[in-house]
Chains A and B, each alone.
Chain A
Amino acid sequence: AQRVTQVQSTGSSQWGEVTLDCSYETSEYSYLILWYRQLFSGEMVFLIYQPSFDTQNQRSGHYSVVFQKSFKSISLVISASQPEDSGTYFCALSELTGDSNYQLIWGSGTKLIIKP
Chain B
Amino acid sequence: EAAVTQSPRNKVAVTGGKVTLSCNQTNNHNNMYWYRQDTGHGLRLIHYSYGAGSTEKGDIPDGYKASRPSQENFSLILELATPSQTSVYFCASGDGRGDAETLYFGSGTRLTVL
Decide whether A and B assemble into one complex: yes
Using CB atoms and an 8 Å cutoff, list the residues of chain A in contact with chain B: 2, 4, 30-32, 34, 36, 41-46, 49, 51, 90, 92, 94-96, 102-109
Q: Which of B41, B42, B98, B107 contacts A43 (CB 8 A)?
A: B107
Residues of B within 8 A of A96 (CB): 99
| Docked-complex contact B98 and A44, CB < 8 angstroms | no
Using CB atoms and an 8 Å cutoff, list the residues of chain B in contact with chain A: 40-45, 88, 90, 92, 98-108
| Docked-complex contact B99 and A102, CB < 8 angstroms | yes
Contact residues of B: prevailing secondary structure: mixed
| Docked-complex contact B107 and A41, CB < 8 angstroms | yes
* Complex A-B: 25 CB contacts under 8 Å: A2-B42, A32-B99, A34-B100, A41-B107, A42-B90, A43-B106, A43-B107, A44-B43, A44-B90, A44-B92, A44-B103, A44-B105, A45-B105, A46-B103, A51-B99, A51-B100, A90-B42, A94-B100, A94-B101, A95-B99, A96-B99, A102-B98, A103-B45, A104-B45, A105-B42
Chain B residue with minimal CB distance to A94?
Answer: B99
